[in-house]
Every structure is written in C-alpha cells, then in structure tokens.
Amino acid sequence: MAEDVLLAIVDEAVAAQPVADRVVAARGRPGPVSGAVTQTGGEQISVYHKLNVRLSRLSSTTASTSSESGRFGSSPATSGSCTRR
C-alpha cells in the first residue's frame, strides 16, 4: 500500500514538473515578470508543498511501521535497519 501512495506522489510530481520548468525559465528571462507567471509560480509552490507533506506523512508512517516490526523479532535485514562502518 505504501508503494502505491509513493508511486502516486511521484506521478503527481512528474506531472507538475513541466509547469515548474516553464515558470523557472520565464523568471530567468530579462525584463519584468508577468502576473500570470507569478501566479503560476505560487500555485506550483502549493502543489509541491502538498506533495512534500504527503511524502513526509508516508515517510513517518513507514518508519513507525518498521520500528514496530523490529520490536517483534524481525531481523535487521528485514526491518530496514543497517549499521554504518
């Protein structure tokens, strides 16, 4: 299930990228920035913020699930933990 949610978040981010690219390109051109570009840029900030919130919630949910499974006897290899050397 978490994989489905992650895939949906990635799909939405990919779909939003062309608009973000156009805004960045328009902002990089010499001269004044139009109100439409500024409005679209603000909308893109909102889109990416919402995606970030959803990703953060997914990440914290996945982390707590991994911690809980680790407490019930899962091996480090299956609970997602690792040791740095």
Q: Which tens digits make up the pLDDT trace of 63-85?
A: 776 655 554 444 444 444 444 43
pLDDT digit string, tens, across residues 8-66? 999 999 999 999 999 999 999 999 999 999 999 999 999 999 999 999 998 888 777 66
CA distance 23 to 35: 11
pTM of the predicted structure, to 2 decimals:
0.68
CA distance 20 to 5: 22
